[in-house]
Amino acid sequence: MEENLKPSLIRYHPFTTVIDPTFWLEIKRIKLDTLKLELKPIEIFPTISFANNDSRSIHLNYESFEKQSERGNRSNSPLIKISNWKKTDNPIIFDGKILIYNTKKEFDSTDKRELLIKEGERIWMKMNDEQQQRSYDESLSENLAKFFMIVFGDFKSYDFYYWSAYPSLSFPPNCHLIIDSSSFSTNSLRNWSNYFDSNQTKQLIESFNELSASQQHFFAIVVPSKFDQTNDNQKPSEFFQLNRPIIYTFTKFWSLETIEKFSMLDEYKIFVSFPDFIPFSPYPNWLLRNYLSYLHVRLGQLLQRHHQNSKILSFINNFLFVDHLKIFTMAIKTDLNRSESEFLDESFCSYLMQNSFVRHIAFLPANHKKIDKSRYLEEFIKDMLKLYPNNREDDVDGGKRNNFIPPAIGWERNKKLNNRLIPNHINCSSILDPKIMASDALSLNLKLMKWRLVPRLDLDLIHQSRCLIIGSGTIGCNIGRLLVAWGFNQITFIDNKNVSYSNPARQSLFHFEDAIGGRKSKSMVASKALSSINPSIDSRGVNLEIEIPDHPLKFEFEKKLKQTEKLEKLIDEHEIIFLSTDTRESRWLPTLIATSKHKIIVNVAMGFDSFLVQRFGIRLRNDDEIDQQSKFYPLFQEQQKQFQQYFPDPKQSSIYLGSELGCYFCNDIVAPTNSTKDRTLDQQCTVTRPGLSMIASGYAVEVLSSILQHPAGPLAPTFKNFSNDEENSECLKSSSESNFLRTDSILGAVPHELRGFLQTFDRIQSSILRSDHCIACSYKVIDQYRRNRDKFLTEAFENSKSIEKITGIDEFHEYSGSLLDELLSDEEDQD
């Protein structure tokens, strides 16, 4: 070894984990939605980029859980808006794992040392697996760049405890950095120009650009010497000038065929690349640890198979002991906008030669301090064969395979606490968008339901369902509030009245300020109130009057029909309709329109101390083209098949199918009329016990949730007679998700009607069959509405008797009148 060159221990610069706030939101989502209580490692892919000359910062964001090929697929994700992440070209992707613990105690008590030891074992075993050597070398970046993290998150307070590790082998032994002691600086870096001239640099850039992206971080360069060495005054480095450098990927570099080619050269220099782009830093980055281990293992495998092959021994001597192991860093800035021609211009080549550098590393034998340099190769081979013995009898250890596994290190130090080896803590509440946090927190309880209680709960179906609340009063406000709690994200209110001073006490979305002046629309204020609870929901209010039968249009004919068209359009835009208006007749038109369009309808009505919650049946026919276009029609067909299978004789059935259930008007024997005329003050107000609306609204929203979680949805059947439901067929209680005859969902029963009485605090379930003469949901009125909407509605608004005529109720009246006359005449005859 030259007198002015001295070996020095290698000091590695550790990585710093840079975490984007979106990473923590993704951690929370994965834990709540996917892992739940399960404790298993999940894949993570942090990145290190060299675009900004920073190879010490490892970046984590919401995309870090996706492979590079999958990134960018979530272009509509709200996390993009709050991410500070900037995409870079061809970063190194770390192969990582993350453990998310269930409790803080579990996080604190886990054996961190043991976790790192296991990671080190995996690295070592995979590195030494000769059967997988080619695939390992092809994916060298991800096999050397390892990452591990443990996390515990208190999702309510957004407190996260975490510890990052970069598992690395403390290996190889006796590996030193060669520094020039004749220089005033202890810097170990050599200038690029000492080894390559400008022409060679251009040639290297051309060859570099031909490599695939995954091979541009780690490869080898072989430079043959000049054959014509006539000038004895030439510097040694000049022997290699003007010869074209040859780039080898490591899949080819270690092959016996390639090494034999090297033996045909008079002299040659070998360089291996290493990505370390902080200009002229004296300390290489942490990744060099595993890289040196990899080079040592591959050399050991060569010796293991060919330790008596003179060409192999010559190659190892040249690679390690002639001017040491040379590791170069070529400062090619990754630039998405740089063209290929720009890589080859003089200015860029000049930049590269000024900023690229070479390090010399010495792999020394264990007893290097006691022996002469001429014996380094001989002793090094002995050391290697102890570590990597083969199976032949003449091996150093008698053919027994060594079970040596080097120790692993890599836990990141806590820079906030004096670089101590302890976990980190961050509270994200101050750095995350409050609106995103509010939306995220509201769904927390719902997601926790799926952990133990209701694992198959379909929250996505709830989030995607659009709800229309017709009536923004006492019932409508409570329904809206509960829908937010269940996670419904699209809610629309309809009402035609303004907030008054009597409203805030009973109607939960209104405040005193809303009533001042009496000019604020109920629907608008209710919508705004929901948005203040959860800013992420799509809530809107529509000021709209609903026309009722027996209420003539007079001179506002066109205006009234346009309002009806607007109501129809709103019902079209929503899947779920709540009826919560003050009067019975105001529910007739929404019932008719929604039923004709196969919507889910939930009706809520109250008396002084009683309530009714009712879901309406879905009207479907096999011989109707419009019905066949309904999204529920395939379910309807499948349900009919199952029904015929279990109940060949329908009369023996103990259930009503969802398509058979009646509506609010199915038992009516008169058409609705204007009931608001000639009312006294107590009749003009909704006079009910104050707690009743909350009870009824709660039942209504829970019935809807059960409907959505049933495999048949709104076609869910219900028992005809609830007193002897235990005697019903077992098929009705089946847990099979494909059983459309189930009378319960994963949330429990799916009743048709619930009637409650506060006077006795009783509640009963009941079911009614649809009526073929119903004034709101019978096929007779639905067909009239579909075929001639304007004419039908105009006649109904002018005179409700027209509805009775269409449905045949007028004939019932005539028949019952004739029966009454007959009874009266019989009584007169008896007198």
Domain boundary among the residues 741, 771, 801 is at: 771
205 and 328 both lie in a single domain: yes
464 and 564 both lie in a single domain: yes
Place of tokens 């276009």: 629
Q: In angstroms, rounded to a whole number, what is the distance separating the alpha carbons of residues 614 and 718?
A: 12
Quick one: which H or E segment has residue 803?
Answer: helix 801-807
Q: In what order do the strands lie in the sheet with 600-606?
A: 538-543, 490-495, 466-470, 576-579, 600-606, 610-615, 753-757, 762-766
Sign of CA dihedral 238, 239, 245, 247: negative
Would you say residue 777 lies in a domain? no
Question: In this structure, are residues 128 and 172 in contact, taking their beta carbons and an 8 Å threshold?
Answer: no
Please state the φ and ψ torsions of residue 791, each to the nearest 5 degrees.
-65, -45
Q: In angstroms, rounded to a whole number, what is the distance separating the alpha carbons of residues 327 and 218?
A: 10
**CA 767 centroid distance within chain:** 41
For residue 331, give the DSSP letter: -
> If DSSP codes are grouped into helix, strand and coil, which group holds residue 689?
coil
**pLDDT, tens digit, 9 for 90 and up, residues 427-474:** 998 888 888 888 888 889 899 999 999 999 999 999 999 999 999 999
Looking at residue 141, its amino acid is S
164 and 226 both lie in a single domain: no
189-206 as b/e, with b when 16 or more CB fall inside 10 Å?
bbebeebbbeebbbbbbe
Q: In angstroms, rounded to a whole number, what is the distance separating the alpha carbons of residues 65 and 30?
A: 10
474 and 421 both lie in a single domain: no
CA contacts within 13 A on the Cβ side of 146: 26
139 and 181 both lie in a single domain: no
257 and 363 both lie in a single domain: yes
Helices (H) and strands (E) counted in the chain, each on its own, are 30, 30
Residues with Cβ within 8 Å of 776's Cβ and at least 6 positions away in sequence, in order, are: 588, 591, 592, 595, 663, 664, 665, 666
Residues with catalytic roles: 685
Q: Residue 762's domain is classified under what CATH number?
A: 3.40.50.720
**pLDDT, tens digit, 9 for 90 and up, residues 603-618:** 999 999 999 999 999 9
Would you say residue 86 lies in a domain? yes
Q: What pLDDT was estimated at residue 332?
A: 67
Does residue 564 come out as left (phi exceeding 0), alpha (psi in the -120 to 50 range) or beta? alpha
205 and 138 both lie in a single domain: no
> If DSSP codes are grouped into helix, strand and coil, which group holds residue 170?
coil
CA angle 363/365/368 to nearest 5° reads 110
Would you say residue 69 lies in a domain? yes
Question: In this structure, are residues 511 and 518 in contact, taking their beta carbons and an 8 Å threshold?
Answer: no
526 and 474 both lie in a single domain: yes
Q: Residue 93's domain is classified under what CATH number?
A: 3.40.140.70
Would you say residue 449 lies in a domain? no
Neighbours of 108 (CB within 10 A): 12
Q: In angstroms, rounded to a whole number, what is the distance separating the alpha carbons of residues 335 and 51?
A: 7
Does residue 590 come out as left (phi exceeding 0), alpha (psi in the -120 to 50 range) or beta? alpha
Question: In this structure, are residues 767 and 717 in contact, taking their beta carbons and an 8 Å threshold?
Answer: no
Please choose, from the candidates 54, 137, 47, the residue with its C-alpha nearest in 3D space to the C-alpha of residue 93: 47
How many structural domains compose the chain?
Answer: 3
Q: In angstroms, rounded to a whole number, what is the distance separating the alpha carbons of residues 364 and 378?
A: 11
Q: In angstroms, rounded to a whole number, what is the distance separating the alpha carbons of residues 497 and 510?
A: 13
Does residue 713 come out as left (phi exceeding 0), alpha (psi in the -120 to 50 range) or beta? left
Domain boundary among the residues 725, 741, 771 is at: 771
Angstrom CA distances, 370 to 8, 367, 373, stand at 17, 6, 10
684 and 574 both lie in a single domain: yes
349 and 399 both lie in a single domain: yes
157 and 186 both lie in a single domain: no
Question: In this structure, are residues 379 and 366 in contact, taking their beta carbons and an 8 Å threshold?
Answer: yes
Crossing angle between the packed helical segments 288-306 and 112-127, to the nearest 10 degrees: 40
Would you say residue 70 lies in a domain? yes
42 and 98 both lie in a single domain: yes
**CA 576 centroid distance within chain:** 26
Residues of the chain short of pLDDT 50, as ranges, are 1, 75, 78, 80-88, 184-185, 227-239, 334-337, 391-401, 681-684, 735
Domain span including residue 470: 458-617+661-710+750-771
Q: What pLDDT was estimated at residue 233?
A: 46
Would you say residue 826 lies in a domain? no
What are the tokens at 663?
Answer: 């509506």
15-47 as b/e, with b when 16 or more CB fall inside 10 Å?
bebbbbbbbbbbbbbbbbeebeeeeeebebbbb
Question: In this structure, are residues 493 and 680 in contact, taking their beta carbons and an 8 Å threshold?
Answer: no
Q: In angstroms, rounded to a whole number, what is the distance separating the alpha carbons of residues 719 and 735?
A: 17
CA angle 673/677/683 to nearest 5° reads 105
- Supply the mean pLDDT for the chain: 86
Sign of CA dihedral 441, 445, 446, 450: positive
Would you say residue 298 lies in a domain? yes
Would you say residue 633 lies in a domain? no
Quick one: which H or E segment has residue 153?
Answer: strand 146-154
Q: Where are the alpha helices (DSSP H) in 410-453?
A: 434-442, 444-449
Q: What pLDDT was estimated at residue 390?
A: 64
